[in-house]
Amino acid sequence: MRKGYFGAFGGRFVPELLVPPLAELEQAVDNILPDEAFEKDMDQVCREFVGRPTPLYLCRNLSADMGFDVFLKREDLAHTGAHKINNTVGQALLARHMGKSCLLAETGAGQHGVATATAAAMLGLDCIVFMGALDVQRQSINVHRMELMGARVEPVESGTRTLKDAINAALRYWIAHQSDTHYCLGSAVGPHPFPLLVRRLQSIIGRESREQMLQQTGSLPDTVVACVGGGSNAIGIFHPFIQDTGVELVGVEAGGRGGPDDHHSSTLSRGTPGVLHGTHTFLLQSIEGQILPSHSVAPGLDYPGVGPEHAFLKDSSRARYEVIHDRQALDAFNLLSRKEGIIPALESAHAVAWVSESRDHIRPGSKVLINLSGRGDKDLDIVREQMAEV
């Protein structure tokens, strides 16, 4: 396999000016990450700051209703309320070991921005977050949270004024500030080595889950389910199970409202291969290669690309990717809240929805593990609005 590639996907499609900082980061990933001192640091931060390991929870009521065991990996209980923190504390520690004084991030709805600001504050690093101007308006609470923790939030006025434009802006900023700034990319996307780095930091989800399944139930799950936007929570839980060929891996993409002309975020299911943000992967694009707007009720899934390793897992049939629409995700949001007393993030609700919708096809008595990647408090406004529409 070519360096930085997952089969035909991945690579490093960036301006030449970004080659040196990416090479520097690649070296750090190879040398600093496996280092004992770094591992010790990381382990301590994960336990004492993030609150790991997160629990594995067997849903009592849902399991009884469905006729098979539904397990939740409770990433919603990690600090800041989502798996995003695993990646940002790891990259922040790495940045400090590399001698960088500033963390740079893009953010869509603000979750990754908040997680980066959190890690930066903890380690005493400066933090600058690019956020689409439209998202700054829609997610003012998260802007406030980032600012409370000392981050500077830069609204991005170009293009569609959303996540993809925030990534463009962050890459542009990094070109000019590479000597003292680490780009803390928020998902398993972007040029090599980001997809690999983010996977390594998020794989803790899968490693813990695998061990907890064995400990609590004596065997591996039959199916592992996770939502996929950029795909960092999914690759994090999938990766430690990839060699376990008996474990089925299911990624759930956001189908948006579901009308034939509606925007959506089902990149793997309905997109085509192309190059965006430094990587060759599946994209939502016109036949001429222009990037199309994406949509999902879940802000964290709203991205017109996807991590290149997911493109590879789809291509090689090791994982399959399914589509859940806004409506179904909202039903699952209500279902999990009502049945289990757990309010899931709308992103994670897509994974719950797939399990609920597939209940007739899942073998009774089997074990289904869902990555509950985040908590849903952040989504209450959206949910209230959506319910009012019905």
Partner 1 sequence: MHYDNILTRKIQAAVESGRKALIPFVPAGFPVKDRFWDVILELDAEGADVIEIGVPFSDPVADGPVVEKASIRCLEQGVNLDWIFEGLAEYRDRIRAGLVFMGYFNPFLQYGVDRLAGSCREAGVSGLIIPDLILEEAEPYMEMLNENNLAYIPLVGLNTSLERLQAYAGLCPAFVYVVSVMGITGTKTGSMQVLGAKLRQVQDSFECPVALGFGISSKDQLESIEEHVDAVVFGSALINHLDEGRTPREFMAGW
User: Which residues are at the interface with partner 1 (CB under 8 A)?
Assistant: 11-17, 19-20, 158-159, 164-165, 168, 171-172, 175-176, 178, 274-278, 283, 285, 287-291
Asked if 107 and 147 touch (Cβ cutoff 8 Å), the reply is no
Please state the closest distance from residue 135 (CB atom) to partner 1, in A.
17
Residue listed under structure tokens 């390991």: 53
Per DSSP, 89 falls in state: H
For partner 1, the closer CB: 16 or 261: 16
Please state the closest distance from residue 86 (CB atom) to partner 1, in A.
27
Residue 59 appears among annotated catalytic residues: yes
Element (H, E) at 252: strand 248-254
Residue 229 C-beta-side C-alpha neighbours within 13 Å: 26
- 390: tokens are 């019905």
Please state the closest distance from residue 304 (CB atom) to partner 1, in A.
9
Please state the closest distance from residue 274 (CB atom) to partner 1, in A.
5
Instruction: Report the side by side order of strands in the sheet with 102-107.
Output: 152-156, 126-132, 102-107, 181-183
For partner 1, the closer CB: 276 or 368: 276
Residue 16, phi-psi category: left (phi > 0), alpha (psi -120 to 50), beta (remainder)? alpha
Asked if 132 and 166 touch (Cβ cutoff 8 Å), the reply is yes
- 221: tokens are 């799950």
Please state the closest distance from residue 173 (CB atom) to partner 1, in A.
9
Closest C-alpha among 285, 256, 264, 271 to residue 315: 271
Closest C-alpha among 2, 312, 103 to residue 12: 2
Residue 227 appears among annotated catalytic residues: no
Kindly report the number of other CB atoms within 10 A of residue 137's CB atom.
Answer: 11
Phi, psi of 69 (to 5 degrees): -80, 125
What amino acid is encoded at 113 in this protein? Answer: G
Please state the closest distance from residue 7 (CB atom) to partner 1, in A.
14
Closest C-alpha among 78, 61, 52 to residue 375: 78
Q: How far apart are CA 172 and CA 157, in angstroms?
A: 14
Please state the closest distance from residue 188 (CB atom) to partner 1, in A.
19
For partner 1, the closer CB: 107 or 373: 107
For partner 1, the closer CB: 149 or 175: 175
Asked if 134 and 223 touch (Cβ cutoff 8 Å), the reply is no
Identify any residues that bridge with 154 across adjacent strands, giving them in sequence order. 130
Please state the closest distance from residue 185 (CB atom) to partner 1, in A.
13
For partner 1, the closer CB: 206 or 278: 278
For partner 1, the closer CB: 172 or 327: 172
Percent helix, strand, coil in the chain (nearest 5)? 50, 20, 30
Element (H, E) at 201: helix 194-217
For partner 1, the closer CB: 27 or 158: 158
Catalytic residue among 46, 59, 184, 227: 59
- Which residues contact residue 389 at a Cβ distance below 8 angstroms, ignoring those fewer than 6 apart? none
For partner 1, the closer CB: 242 or 291: 291
Catalytic residue among 79, 83, 112, 350: 83
Residues forming the active site: 59, 83
